[in-house]
Amino acid sequence: MNLDIRQAVKTNLVNASNIDILNTINDAMNITEEKVLPGLGVMFELYWRAANDEERNRIAMTIANNMKQ
């Protein structure tokens, strides 16, 4: 089976509102199953591609700082 996770996530969220996205992220964070991680990764990838260098650096710094905890 060849599953295109990127396309599946994009298709599922194509008309999603910001509240829908927020709920999707919160639901995924509350589910302890790792199967939701690829979907979060796709959303992060879309965000990352749209971010400018300053925002990318801020995100990377936040992640690095949180990895130390």
Distances in Å between the Cα of 25 and the Cα atoms of 5, 7, 29, 43, 58 are: 16, 17, 6, 9, 20
Q: What is the pTM of this model?
A: 0.84
pLDDT at 1: 53
Domain count, the chain: 1
Domain range enclosing 55: 5-67
Determine the distance from the C-alpha atom of residue 50 to the mean position of all C-alpha atoms in its chain, rounded to a whole number: 13
What are the pLDDT digits (tens) for 16-27? 999 999 999 999
The number of beta carbons lying within 10 Å of the beta carbon of residue 41 is 13
pLDDT at 33: 87
- pLDDT higher than 70, residue 2: no
Residue 48 — pLDDT band, cuts 50, 70, 90? Answer: very high
Residue closest to 41 by CA, chosen among 2, 5, 4, 1: 5
- Rounded to 5 degrees, what angle do the CA atoms 61, 66, 69 make? 140
**Higher pLDDT among residues 15 and 1, named by residue:** 15
